[in-house]
């Protein structure tokens, strides 16, 4: 018996709609924030000319305007931390990882292993990496500050991927090693 995939509904449902939604531009392209009415719930950087809620009209809230102002200050170099209310949704393990991410200051970096040890998960690099990738509040919860052992970039899911992470690291003056290039196969 072959499992059947559910058909994907191309139209968003009422339940997918955030209470508040605001978009703007930044040095990395378009940016989108959503809110549950009191806190910021998601932040997305444009990827392949798309944002997750492009099909919805904006519905601005004070918390989103404040968040965008703080993000603009971050990009201008006048802000190093954020103080808007956040409401991340995840598993207890993901929440622990994201709390650890929030403790990494501007201009600092940690490895996945260091982060794992700090939150009491030991050297659970892959599990930490999965939780970091699931972060729906990048920049505000600074997942770009996590590197592989030796300071190497292994990936980034926002914006243009690794180039976006490199830009953010350089913006903060964080030393890193570029990702390894895949070897090319030569056929004789």
Residue 103 shares a structural domain with residue 167: yes
Tell me which of 143, 146, 153, 169 is the catalytic residue.
143
Residue 65 shares a structural domain with residue 109: no
Contact between 147 and 179 under an 8 Å Cβ cutoff? The reply is no
pLDDT in tens, 113-133: 999 999 999 888 889 999 999
In a domain, 159, yes or no: yes
In a domain, 186, yes or no: no
Question: In terms of residue numbers, what domain contains 113?
Answer: 92-172
pLDDT at residue 14 greater than cutoff 60: no
Residues in a beta bridge with 35: 20, 40
Q: What is the CATH number of the domain that holds 131?
A: 1.10.10.10
How far is residue 186's CA from residue 188's CA, in Å, rounded to a whole number?
A: 6
Contact between 28 and 164 under an 8 Å Cβ cutoff? The reply is yes
Token output for 83: 């103080």
Domains in the chain, number: 2
Beta strands 29-35 and 40-45 are antiparallel
pLDDT in tens, 156-178: 999 999 999 999 999 999 999 98
How far is residue 153's CA from residue 168's CA, in Å, rounded to a whole number?
A: 12
Residue 59 shares a structural domain with residue 108: no
pLDDT in tens, 74-111: 999 999 999 999 999 999 999 999 999 999 999 999 99
In a domain, 15, yes or no: no
In a domain, 136, yes or no: yes
Residue 97 shares a structural domain with residue 159: yes
- Is-catalytic flag, 143? yes
Q: What percent of the chain has pLDDT over 70?
A: 87
Residue 118 shares a structural domain with residue 168: yes
């Amino acid at each position: 018996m072959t499992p059947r995939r559910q058909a994907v509904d191309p139209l968003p449902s009422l339940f997918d709609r955030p209470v508040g939604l605001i978009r703007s531009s930044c040095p990395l392209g378009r940016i989108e924030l959503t809110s549950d009415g009191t806190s910021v719930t998601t932040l997305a950087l444009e990827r392949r000319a798309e944002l997750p809620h492009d099909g919805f009209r904006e519905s601005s809230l004070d918390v989103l305007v404040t968040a965008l102002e703080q993000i603009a200050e971050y990009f201008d170099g006048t802000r190093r931390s954020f103080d808007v209310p956040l409401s991340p949704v995840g598993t207890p393990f993901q929440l622990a990882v994201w709390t650890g991410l929030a403790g990494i200051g501007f201009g600092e970096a940690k490895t996945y292993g260091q982060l794992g040890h700090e939150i009491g998960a030991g050297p659970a690099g892959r599990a930490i990496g999965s939780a970091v990738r699931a972060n729906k509040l990048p920049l505000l919860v600074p997942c770009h500050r996590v590197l592989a052992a030796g300071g190497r970039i292994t990936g980034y899911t926002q914006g243009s991927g690794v180039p976006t992470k490199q830009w953010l690291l350089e913006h903060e003056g964080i030393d890193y090693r570029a990702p390894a290039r895949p070897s090319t196969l030569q056929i004789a």
